[in-house]
Structure 1
């Protein structure tokens, strides 16, 4: 069962939480580097957990990680790392916290070289999921196949976020998702 057809079977309040993400975020392109990075942080933190857990904690993640400001996160100190590991509002997993900080540093380097995180993604597009996974594993921490695949689908770089019959899919097509371009 796809995400599109699964949501109507959910009970409240889960349905509303997932419906909002499905209708307004999932599969739509993101053009702001901090928001792209934020989505990557959320996808990394979802590993081993339900997406609902992450959706419920999104505001806490945003607050804990300085609104996903790449420059600030790349400059985090050991004190910041400990603060995150003690923040009950987010996922307190050392590997995931370390990945966020190290990935911010990697994105700062990509921004210097390519101008933006988005430009780096565009430079490497199109790729198969397997090619993307290989590139992400070489570039970032804690980015396995499921994380990379979901991240790229969630921002319009890979197809599959929605069923062809889903009304949101038609809205996404109007935004020219990256997997349709090139």
Structure 2
């Protein structure tokens, strides 16, 4: 399941529609598929230093470039794949971010072996404060600073803050039982 219908929104030429779709249907909603969790992590890493709009516009290109975020396939990428990604104008061509995606896929494979899934690894460590999550992510993954970890965890329902309590989407998220509501 794609967390953003970026192409459709951009064809309409409406930046607000792009953000609204993400806000109303994806941001803060719990994710349970390891490939989509990996996708969200890669997208958050790539957003560092850029606008979220830039990332949403490139989501389809990211999916194509990174084998639809198939963790096993990305973990097996070779040097020629790294070169292919660095030459792909449809994505963010940053060597550190590309290397992080590939190396983090390898880490997730190990977490899947040990815990059964990336999601179960996250559940195993829940609940944590933002600071505790940041420390864990920095120890476990590449290119995961405080803001990246915070946005990743808010976007998948592990930390509060994706929506204000008076936002209509907040109630929808509560009905989906985000992890922060399970404290």
TM range (shorter): over 0.9
Normalising by the residue count of structure 2, what TM-score does the alignment of the two structures yield? 0.93
For 1:171 and 1:43, the matched residues in 2 are separated by 23
Structure 2 residues without counterparts, runs of 5 or longer = 1-12
Which residue number corresponds to residue 20 of structure 1? 21
Which residue number corresponds to residue 133 of structure 1? 134
Which residue number corresponds to residue 53 of structure 2? 52
For 2:79 and 2:41, the matched residues in 1 are separated by 22
Which residue number corresponds to residue 144 of structure 1? 145
For residues 155-174 of structure 1, the C-alpha deviation after alignment (integer angstroms, 9 at most, x for no partner) is 00000000111111000000
Query: Is residue 2:44 matched to residue 1:39?
Result: no
For residues 34-69 of structure 1, the C-alpha deviation after alignment (integer angstroms, 9 at most, x for no partner) is 000000000000000000000000000001000000
The aligned length equals 171
Which residue number corresponds to residue 68 of structure 1? 69
Shift of 1:107: 0.2
Query: Is residue 2:151 matched to residue 1:154?
Result: no
Aligned CA-pair RMSD? 0.6
Shift of 1:139: 0.2
Which residue number corresponds to residue 3 of structure 1? none
Normalising by the residue count of structure 1, what TM-score does the alignment of the two structures yield? 0.93
For 2:159 and 2:133, the matched residues in 1 are separated by 10
Structure 1 residues without counterparts, runs of 5 or longer = 1-11
